[in-house]
């Protein structure tokens, strides 16, 4: 990254918005500029009905090493007031987000990945929350989300030892969705994003919301809340178009309505 380059590169690829943290000399560590840029890009993703899914990557062969400690020591706090650390850990993106991990996702870097819905990682990447080794606490959502996505004992070990988890084991445990060769995590994430983006955008958004929120619902609440979210989708023009396209053996043309 040079002085003229953005801290976060934002690129649109049809219905996919790609965000790349662009501070390779700082191991893509998050400072206030990065946090603000990610928050702004996610707002754009949520507000644009023609965008269906986002991909988050890092420049220079690494994903993110977490908070920029040098900036933190100067009193700079990389938290968006609405969305939290890195502009996404406290209030997660309202559309599906895929982390494309090369090299490392450590400390807040892993917490950013955990705020995404899906993770694609190169097989030689290292994942971990080593905050305890620095006398810190993983306060960017990792202590909540790791136990949701890993067996409790594994999550506890990672958090208390600060030791990294290799990608193959993370994949076997369900934390990582897809494993790629080194240098191809973004390619793998874009392939996965393309598969999602080909689906009905209203259905994708509603499905993501139900999956995310249902953990807080009782059995009775599930059926009521699911109906509130899914009902408008089932009555939409897109739902009718999906049925017609299936019957006519053609690809559907979604309008988001």
Whether residue 240 is found in the same domain as residue 117: no
Examine residue 254 and state whether it is found in any structural domain, yes or no.
no
Whether residue 156 is found in the same domain as residue 211: no
pTM for this entry: 0.94
**Region label for 20, one of left (φ > 0), alpha (ψ between -120 and 50) or beta (otherwise):** beta
Can you give the pLDDT of all 257 residues of the chain as single tens digits?
A: 566 789 999 999 999 999 999 999 999 999 999 999 999 999 999 999 999 999 999 999 999 999 998 888 898 889 999 999 999 999 999 999 999 999 999 999 999 999 999 999 999 999 999 999 989 899 999 999 999 999 999 999 999 999 999 999 999 999 999 999 999 999 999 999 999 999 999 999 999 999 999 988 999 999 999 999 999 999 999 999 999 999 999 999 999 98
Examine residue 37 and state whether it is found in any structural domain, yes or no.
yes
- Position 75 scores a pLDDT of 87
- Position 73 scores a pLDDT of 82
Examine residue 256 and state whether it is found in any structural domain, yes or no.
no
- Position 4 scores a pLDDT of 74
Examine residue 123 and state whether it is found in any structural domain, yes or no.
yes
Q: Which of 45, 10, 57, 42 is nearest to 186 (CA)?
A: 57
Q: Which of 27, 68, 19, 25 is nearest to 45 (CA)?
A: 19
Whether residue 19 is found in the same domain as residue 78: yes
102 counts as catalytic: no
Whether residue 83 is found in the same domain as residue 112: yes
Beta pairing, strands 8-13 & 16-21: antiparallel
- Tell me the C-alpha distance between 219 and 42, whole Å: 32
CB 52 within 8 A of CB 102: no
How many structural domains are present in the chain? 2
Whether residue 186 is found in the same domain as residue 234: no
- Position 15 scores a pLDDT of 95
Q: Which single residue is written with the structure tokens 């874009």?
A: 190
Beta pairing, strands 165-166 & 126-128: antiparallel
Domain closes at, from 174, 197, 220:
197
Task: Report the helix count and the strand count for the chain, using DSSP H and E.
Answer: 10, 11
Examine residue 2 and state whether it is found in any structural domain, yes or no.
no
Examine residue 193 and state whether it is found in any structural domain, yes or no.
yes
Whether residue 87 is found in the same domain as residue 178: yes
CB 210 within 8 A of CB 153: no
Whether residue 123 is found in the same domain as residue 218: no
Q: What CATH number did the domain enclosing 71 receive?
A: 3.90.226.10
Whether residue 186 is found in the same domain as residue 212: no
Name the catalytic one among 111, 163, 191, 213: 111
Whether residue 132 is found in the same domain as residue 231: no
- Position 172 scores a pLDDT of 97
5 counts as catalytic: no
Examine residue 145 and state whether it is found in any structural domain, yes or no.
yes
Whether residue 22 is found in the same domain as residue 128: yes
Q: Which residues pair with 118 in a beta bridge?
A: 98
Which helix (H) or strand (E) is 209 found in, with range? helix 201-213
- Tell me the C-alpha distance between 83 and 87, whole Å: 5
Name the catalytic one among 11, 131, 213, 228: 131
Examine residue 214 and state whether it is found in any structural domain, yes or no.
yes
Whether residue 190 is found in the same domain as residue 206: no
3-class DSSP state of 252:
coil
Whether residue 85 is found in the same domain as residue 156: yes
| 134: containing domain | 8-197
């Amino acid at each position: 990254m040079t002085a003229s380059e953005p801290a976060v590169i934002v690129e649109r690829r049809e219905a996919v918005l790609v965000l790349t943290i662009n501070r390779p000399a700082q191991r893509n560590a998050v400072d206030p500029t990065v946090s603000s840029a990610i928050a702004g890009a996610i707002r754009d993703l949520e507000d644009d009905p023609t965008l269906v899914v986002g991909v988050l990557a890092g420049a220079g062969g690494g994903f993110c090493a977490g908070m920029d400690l040098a900036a933190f020591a100067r009193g700079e706090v990389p938290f968006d007031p609405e969305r939290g650390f890195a502009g996404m850990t406290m209030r997660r993106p309202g559309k599906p987000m895929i982390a494309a991990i090369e090299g490392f996702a450590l400390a807040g870097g892993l917490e950013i990945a955990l705020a995404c819905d899906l993770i694609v990682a190169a097989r030689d990447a290292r994942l971990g929350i080593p905050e305890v080794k620095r006398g810190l606490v993983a306060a960017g959502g990792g202590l909540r989300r790791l136990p949701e996505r890993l067996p409790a004992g594994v999550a506890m070990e990672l958090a208390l030892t600060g030791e990294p988890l290799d990608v193959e084991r993370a994949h076997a445990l369900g934390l990582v969705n897809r494993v790629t060769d080194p240098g191809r995590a973004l390619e793998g994430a874009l392939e996965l994003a393309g598969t999602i983006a080909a689906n009905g955008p209203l259905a994708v958004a509603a499905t993501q919301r139900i999956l995310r929120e249902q953990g807080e619902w009782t059995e009775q609440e599930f059926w009521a809340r699911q109906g509130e979210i899914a009902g408008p989708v089932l009555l939409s023009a897109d739902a009718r178009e999906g049925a017609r396209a299936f019957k006519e053996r053609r690809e559907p043309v979604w309008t988001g309505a």
